[in-house]
Amino acid sequence: MLARISHQVPTAAGDAPLPIPASPERVPTQRCSRLGVLNGLLSTPPRPSGRIPHWARHLTGLATKPGEICGLARVIAFLAFLPAFASVVCGQERIDITQWHEEHPVALADENPDRRLRLGLYPRLGAVIGVPNGLAGTFQISLSIRRPERYSFYVGAGYEYGHAVEGGNLTLGWGGVREAPATVLQRGFSGAFLRYRNWDSDDHGRHHGLSVGVESGLGDFGLVMEAGLARSDRNHWIPVARLSISVGKAWLWVK
């Protein structure tokens, strides 16, 4: 016999499900079962994890405890203390700067320089290497007039002898003989010059030329670098490019 089963619709008052109050902690979730999927709200908050993040472990290692001095502060304190400790151990006294300059007057610039006129004389013998002679011998003499912080110039004359050309020269320059501050007081010579040459060549006749250069000397030794051109009446040109090493003596008179 077939039995007929009837279903009744629940009433609105008695059989209606209770409403679930809204809460921010309730999150929708889905639970699976053998019979299907059950939709519901999870009211239990997630369990806090006891694992410390990777970056937090690094910061924990760097942090100092209350009252503890960090490693950088220890290094700075050690470096500041080291010079004082070394001076005590070695018995080194503090340097009096004023007394040191009084005992070493060369190291201290003179606040009231001597502006008296200075006359200098600088004769020298030299060996020239370069164009046009290749290797030649020279004699130069210079007379300088100098007033410190105002002017300093010199005039000179000389003669050169070589296998290609030979002749004299006249020099006008800015510089001259001066004192050279050192452990032992010395006299030196320095300047930049314009030089006129009057050379005689067996093949092309007489040449007239101009050259520019710089020279510097300290004690007995000097060095000259020079470059220029010389031209003959037959329109023959001679380049001038040379290096000269000289030996001489500088005299200086203060007026």
Q: What is the pLDDT of residue 141?
A: 96
Give yes or no for a cis peptide into 132 (omega within 30° of 0). yes
Q: Are 241 and 130 in contact (CB under 8 A)?
A: yes
Residue 219 resides in a domain: yes
For residues 146 and 155, give the distance between their C-alpha atoms in angstroms, rounded to a whole number: 12
Residue 213 resides in a domain: yes
**Tally of domains within the chain:** 1
Residue 222 resides in a domain: yes
Across the strands, what pairs with 86? Answer: none
Domain that holds residue 222: 118-254
Residue 156 resides in a domain: yes
Q: What is the pLDDT of residue 35?
A: 46
For residues 252 and 162, give the distance between their C-alpha atoms in angstroms, rounded to a whole number: 32
SS3 track for the chain:
CCCCCCCCCCCCCCCCCCCCCCCCCCEEEEEECCCCEEEEEECCCCCCCCCCCHHHHHHHHHCCCCCCCCHHHHHHHHHHHHHHHHHHHHCCCCCCHHHHHHHCHHHCCCCCCCCCCEEEEEEEEEEEEEECCEEEEEEEEEEEEEECCCEEEEEEEEEEECCCEEEEEEEEEEEEEEEECCCCCEEEEEEEEEEEEEEEECCCEEEEEEEEEEEEEECCEEEEEEEEEEEECCCCEEEEEEEEEEEECCEEEEC
Instruction: Give me the phi and psi of 163, to 5 degrees please.
Output: -75, -25
Could you give the count of Cα atoms lying within 13 Å of 234 in the half-sphere of its Cβ? 9
Give the distance between the most distant pair of CA atoms in the chain: 156
Any idea what the Cα angle at residue 71 is, between residues 66 and 74, rounded to 5°?
A: 100
Residue 170 resides in a domain: yes
For residues 212 and 240, give the distance between their C-alpha atoms in angstroms, rounded to a whole number: 10
CATH number of the domain to which 248 belongs: 2.40.160.20
How does pLDDT run along the chain (255 residues), one tens digit per residue?
Answer: 444 444 444 444 445 455 555 444 444 444 444 444 444 444 555 555 556 566 556 556 555 565 555 566 666 666 666 666 555 555 555 566 666 656 655 544 555 667 889 999 999 999 999 999 999 999 999 999 998 878 899 999 999 999 999 999 999 999 999 887 666 677 889 999 999 999 998 888 899 999 999 999 988 899 999 999 999 988 999 999 999 999 999 999 988
Residue 77 resides in a domain: no
For residue range 94-136, what is the model confidence (pLDDT) as tens digits? 566 666 656 655 544 555 667 889 999 999 999 999 999 999 9
Cα of 178 vs its chain's centroid, Å? 30
Residue 226 resides in a domain: yes
Residue 168 resides in a domain: yes
Q: What is the pLDDT of residue 6?
A: 45
